[in-house]
Amino acid sequence: MAEGTDKSLVAQERAPGRSYDLYEGSDVVEVYVDGASGAMIGPSVARMRFHTVTDASPLEGVAGELLEKREVKLRVIMPTPTFVEFLLNSLKGVTDNKENLSVAAENQKTALLDILSRVKPNA
């Protein structure tokens, strides 16, 4: 990168067909989403929609079910081979770290329940 830029090197890869330096600057857009609303996968590009939940109310006539109102917050378009590579890498990462993810989830649950146990209703 050119001197004087606000970009930092965050990752490097050197492998056949996969050699790169990844930089990140202060202008990165970060968007929180609650879920993925779907994907359209074509021969050239894949388009994915991500949403946030803006409201949830009881679904009329169905006990215990909620009707969510979702709003698309982000649309990502990328080459289909890149999308497939992303999916495979994500699945491999989750599978390779299944035990650590399980332990971390249990620790989060324990910490949350501990905090909640200290809350005194109507106090």
- 62-103 confidence digits (pLDDT tens): 999 999 999 999 999 999 999 999 999 999 999 999 999 999
Which pLDDT value is given to residue 18? Answer: 85
Structure tokens at 2: 């050119």
Structure tokens at 47: 């388009």
- The radius of gyration of the chain from alpha carbons, rounded to an integer in Å, stands at 21
CA 44 to chain centre: 23
3 pLDDT band, cuts 50/70/90, is low
Tally of CB atoms within 10 A around 96: 10
- 4-49 confidence digits (pLDDT tens): 578 999 999 999 988 999 999 999 999 999 999 999 999 999 999 9
Which pLDDT value is given to residue 123? Answer: 60
Q: Where are the domains of the chain?
A: 8-117
2 pLDDT band, cuts 50/70/90, is low
CA 110 to chain centre: 23
Buried b / exposed e across 17-54, counting CB within 10 Å, b at 16+?
eeeeeeeeeeeeeeeebeeebeeeeeeeebebbbbeee
